[in-house]
Amino acid sequence: MFGLPRAKKTAAVVAASAAAAATVLLGAPSAAAAPQPIVGGTTTTTTAYPFVMQITDASQNQFCGGTLVSATKVVTAAHCMVGESTSSVRVVGGRTYLNGTNGTVAKVSKIWINPDYTDATNGDDVAVLTLSTSMPYTTASYVSSSDTSVYAAGTTARILGWGTTAENGSSSNQLRTATVPIVADSSCKTSYGSDFVQTDMVCAGYSSGGVDTCQGDSGGPLLIGGVLAGITSWGEGCAEAGYPGVYSRLTTFSSLVTAQVNS
């Protein structure tokens, strides 16, 4: 069932291409995680989640997600920003559909990538963008470094994004959301071995798979109780049984983020 090598390295380059060597999803997921076409979940809007931002190229083609945490600061994944420059990216708010032209487009004046970042599977997968102009949207609050109890196993978390709705599938034109349970660190370690860096990552998903973030969702939010607690980072395939999604553990990076938000 799991033909791909464990912990396929993830890139910010997304969707569209893919194809090839498709590992097929389990044919009969459990009732608890029935696949609807994120993977699983339902459509939603940026009206419902106004702090969810599209990270796009200069032509406004979305390739990652981000979360507005102040009028001019957006939290995203470091791996989304590798190879990017302030002139190559835009942040688009208030645009539910990828093919929309509405909302607010902001240029980026600074890209801060966690200086310790090397690869998503080594952790440190966090970046903060400073916008040249303010976003007129409600911001999300984010966890503080002492909020570590939010990641208790079984806690319901919300994921959001425009990423592919199946492993090797296509992106969703409309923003999607789903809820997934936080997975115990010990269990995630069993899934991913040394690629799971407990201090820097938290896993979420059903053991039977079926609901997950996927390519193109990276950088977007994992919310717990409506508060930004994780950043979509990586996973083995998408929604595979036994391989939950891996998110940056934001409590670990909260102080670093705050330093950027206040800079």
- Tokens coding 87: 């002139």
Map residues 130-169 to x or -, x wherever contact with ligand ARG holds by CB under 6 A.
Answer: ---------------------------------x------
Q: Closest distance between ligand ARG and the C-beta of residue 164, in Å?
A: 8
Region from 100-108, 181-189, 193-201, 233-241 binding ligand ARG, contact rule CB under 6 A: 233-241
Written in H, E and C, the secondary structure of 113-180 is ECCCCCCHHHCCCCEEEEECCCCCCCCCCECCCCCHHHHCCCCEEEEEECCECCCCCCECCECEEEEE
- What's the rounded Cα separation, in Å, for the pair 77 and 220? 8
21: left (phi over 0), alpha (psi -120 to 50) or beta: left
Place of tokens 């923003």: 175
Question: Nearer Cβ to ligand ARG, position 215 or 260?
Answer: 215
Residue 218 among the catalytic residues: yes
Beta strand ranges found along the chain (DSSP E): 42-43, 52-57, 62-70, 73-76, 89-93, 104-113, 127-131, 156-161, 176-183, 201-204, 221-224, 227-234, 245-249
| Catalytic residue from among 191, 218, 248, 254 | 218
Using the rule CB under 6 A, give the single segment among 43-51, 84-92, 101-109, 231-239 that binds ligand ARG.
231-239
Report the nearest approach of ligand ARG to the CB of residue 28 (Å): 20
Q: Which is nearer to ligand ARG, 1 or 259 (CB)?
A: 1
Is 57 among the residues known to form the active site? no
Distance between start and end Cα atoms, the chain: 47
Q: Where does this chain touch ligand ARG (CB under 6 A) — which range of 9-17, 50-58, 83-91, 173-181?
A: 9-17
- Residue-level length of the chain: 263
For ligand ARG, which is the closer residue by CB, 72 or 175?
A: 175
- The C-alpha atoms of residue 117 and residue 124 are separated, in whole angstroms, by 5
- Which of 114, 232, 248, 260 lies at the binding interface for ligand ARG (CB under 6 A)? 232
Spatial distance between the Cα atoms of 202 and 130, rounded to a whole number of angstroms: 26
Where in 198-227 is the site for ligand ARG (CB under 6 A)? 212-218
Structure tokens belonging to residue 175: 């923003």
Q: Nearest approach, Cβ of 64 to ligand ARG (angstroms)?
A: 6
Output the smallest distance, CB 176 to ligand ARG, in A: 13
Placement of tokens 């507005």 in the chain: 68
- Minimum distance from CB of 225 to ligand ARG (Å)? 21
Residue 116 is a catalytic residue:
no
Q: Which residues bind ligand ARG (CB under 6 A)?
A: 10, 12, 14, 163, 212-218, 232, 234-235, 238, 245
Known catalytic residues are: 79, 125, 218
